[in-house]
Structures are given as C-alpha cells and as structure tokens.
Structure 1
C-alpha cells in the first residue's frame, strides 16, 4: 500500500478534491473529521480544552464552540500552541491506526486529508505523493469570508496562521488550482486518481516489507538456534 496526501490552505477546496477520491472508491483518512470527533463532550481532549479555555468556549449543549475557540487561538499564538499540544498527539495516533487498518485490509493505496501536513510533518516519510489544493489569495479570502461569515481581519488571521500556499506548492508532486470552476478541479483530481490506480508502487512496497519480514525471520531463526545449541554443547564436570 502507498499513501497519497492532500493538503492546502483554509478554504482552498481540499474537501472537493477528497470527495473525488471517495467517489472513486479510494479510502480517505480525514484529519479534520478526526479533530472534531476527539473533542466531543466527555472526551479527554474536551476536558483538557475546557480546563485551559474555560466554559466560555462551550455551547449550551456542552459541545465546543469552534468559532469561539478559533477566535481565541488565532488571536494568541501561545493559546494555539496549547491547543495543538492537547489535540495533535491524539489526532496523529488515530490517523496512524486508520492507516494500519487500511494496510491490513489489503488496499493498494489510500488518501490522507491533512491540512497541516507540512506544518506537523506527520507520516511524511511514508507518503508517496503530495497534492496541494491551491487558489489565488483573493479567491481564498473571499471564499473564507463568505463560507464562515468572517470579517476581513478575522479571515486574514486564519490564513496567515498557516504555512504560505506557494511554499506548500513548491514541496508537492501535484498542484490542483481551484481558482476556477468546480468541474475543472474535479477533472484535475480525477486525472490523479487514474495515475495512482495505474501505479505499481504498492507492489514495490509489499515486496520491500516481505523482504524485511523474511530478514527478521532469519535473524530470529538463527538466534534461536544459537541459544539452543550453546547450552547443549557445554558439559559440566564434578
């Protein structure tokens, strides 16, 4: 199995691209979805966030008010760091477990939807190809303001808190420009799906893993023989 990662900036259209992969039968591990699950009322992360930020960031339902929390962390870098310390280890652990699950199921390849891929560098050494979904800065700002009803200042804070898009694009294997129509974006994503389906990289990975397992098996076998032979070859004299 090999891994393809999707990243980009806030409001650049990552979800649109991920949906293309899902529609074509490719499993997608969504970091944002996991991030929402781990802060549900009563979870360990929920208790820790409540302790740090107070009840002011809770809705009447006891769920975390994501808008209030976002306003707090994007206005204070230290608070953003504290939130990351609470949530990131849990998110990364769950991502790793889902990847292992798909590997054991015999999948040829999967997709990780990781908005902060370059910032956190999670699983970078295991990722075969990286896709960055980008758009021009004006389009990104407008979409974010319309989608979340942010002021210009709030939207800019959220964009500037992330790694610049041009740097992400420089480090990617594919860049999907989502400045235009949704149809054009989907077509670009579909071309990548077809390329990955045609790839034989998953066979190379499985052969490599098989070689490692065989090597470990031989080491264990010979160590077992050594430790079994040595005691039998020693004679005790009175």
Structure 2
C-alpha cells in the first residue's frame, strides 16, 4: 500500500481536499468519523466522557453535544487533553482495523489517513508522508467565523488550541494550498494523488532502506 497522512488546521479545507482525493481513487480513513462513532451513547468512550465532563454536555437524546463540549475544551488545555486521552485509543484501534481490511481487499491501494490532530496526537511519527492543507491564518480565522458563526475571540481560541498552521506547513512533506479557487485546489489535489501513485509503496520502501 501507499500510505499518507492528511491534516491541516481547523477551517483550512481538509474535508474538501479529502473528497477530491477520494474522487481520484484514494481510500480515505476518516479519523474524525471514527471518533464520532466511538463516542455514541452507551459506548465505553461515551461513558468515560460523561463521567469526566458531566451530563451537562449531553443533548436531549443522550448523545454528546459537540458544540457544548467544544466550548469547554477549546478554552482549557487540560480538559482538552483529558478528552484526547479518552478518545484517541479508540480512534487508533478503529484506524488499525480499517487498515487491515484495506490491506486484505486491495494491497495496492493509495490510503489517506485523514487525521485533524495528526501532529498534536504524535501520529506523524507513524506515517511515511504527511500532506498538509494550508491557508494563511487570517483567512483561517475569517472562514471559521463564517462557517461556525463564531466571534473572533471564539475562533481564535479554537485555532490556538491546535499547532499553528504555519508550523504545520513547515512539517509537511506535501503541501496543498487551499487559499485560491476551488478549481485550483482540485487540480493540486489530483496532482498530489498522481504523485502518490508513482511513489514507492511503504512496505517496499522499508525493505529497500533496510537492505
């Protein structure tokens, strides 16, 4: 398999890029979706979150209210770390299960692990290539305010809870600039997919380095 991680900052357009890569033929493993499934009502992660944060963060139907929980963790690094320690093990397990199934079904697949907090969770050490979706921070703030109907202060709190987009840009193996038009982002995404298809599969690359 050819494997790469995909990340960015909040509101940089990672979901859009993932969709383009999927359309091109990549298999996408969506860490955020795995996390959402892991915290559904009654599951172990859900119980641990309710125990740590209280039932005030629940909706009427008993599911976790993501916005309420977000308002807590984006203003408190300690509480954010508590949530990560609860959820991340379930996410890692879910991703490993999906990787195993892909390996069995299509050993030649181009697999993109879509991980919003890839650097923050330390997962960049486990991946051979990192794709970062980038926009300058002022544009990031503006897009987040518009998308989530946030004040500038709330938008800044969410952005500051992550590693800065400029730092992520420096750490990227492959950069996709999403500050232009949608067509430009699509073209760059397809270009990146083609580059990945031409690259050496991970297993073969490892064996060649160890030879």
TM-score by length of 2: 0.92
Q: CA deviation at 1:21?
A: 1.3
User: Secondary structure in 1 aligned to 2:123?
Assistant: coil
After superposition, give the CA deviation of every residue in 1:175-232 in whole Å (9 maximum; x if it has no partner): 1111111111111010011111222435725x939x99xxxxxxxxxxxxxxxxxxxx
Structure 2 partner of 1:208: 207
For 1:203 and 1:98, locate their aligned partners in 2 and report how far apart those are by CA, in whole Å: 17
Residues 89 and 202 (structure 1), Cα distance of their counterparts in 2 relative to 1, 3 Å cut: closer
Q: CA RMSD in A?
A: 1.9
Structure 2 partner of 1:146: 146
Structure 1 partner of 2:122: 121
User: Secondary structure in 1 aligned to 2:7?
Assistant: strand
For 2:178 and 2:2, locate their aligned partners in 1 and report how far apart those are by CA, in whole Å: 25
For 1:61 and 1:50, locate their aligned partners in 2 and report how far apart those are by CA, in whole Å: 14
Question: Bigger shift: 5-14 or 190-199?
Answer: 190-199
Structure 2 partner of 1:36: 36
For 1:203 and 1:37, locate their aligned partners in 2 and report how far apart those are by CA, in whole Å: 30
User: Secondary structure in 2 aligned to 1:96?
Assistant: helix
Q: Using CA pairs under 8 Å that are at least 6 residues apart, name the structure with larger relative contact order, 1 or 2.
A: 2
How many aligned positions are there?
A: 209
1:1-238 correspondence to structure 2 within 5 Å: 1-108=1-108, 109-122=110-123, 124-125=125-126, 127-201=127-201, 204-205=204-205, 208=207
Q: CA deviation at 1:123?
A: 6.1
Structure 2 partner of 1:236: none
- Contact 1:92–1:122 (Cα < 8 Å) also in 2: no
What runs of 5+ residues in structure 1 fail to find an aligned partner? 213-238
After superposition, give the CA deviation of every residue in 1:130-171 in whole Å (9 maximum; x if it has no partner): 110010111101111111111111110000010011111111
User: Secondary structure in 2 aligned to 1:132?
Assistant: strand
- Contact 1:134–1:179 (Cα < 8 Å) also in 2: yes
Question: Bigger shift: 96-105 or 132-141?
Answer: 96-105
What runs of 5+ residues in structure 2 fail to find an aligned partner? none
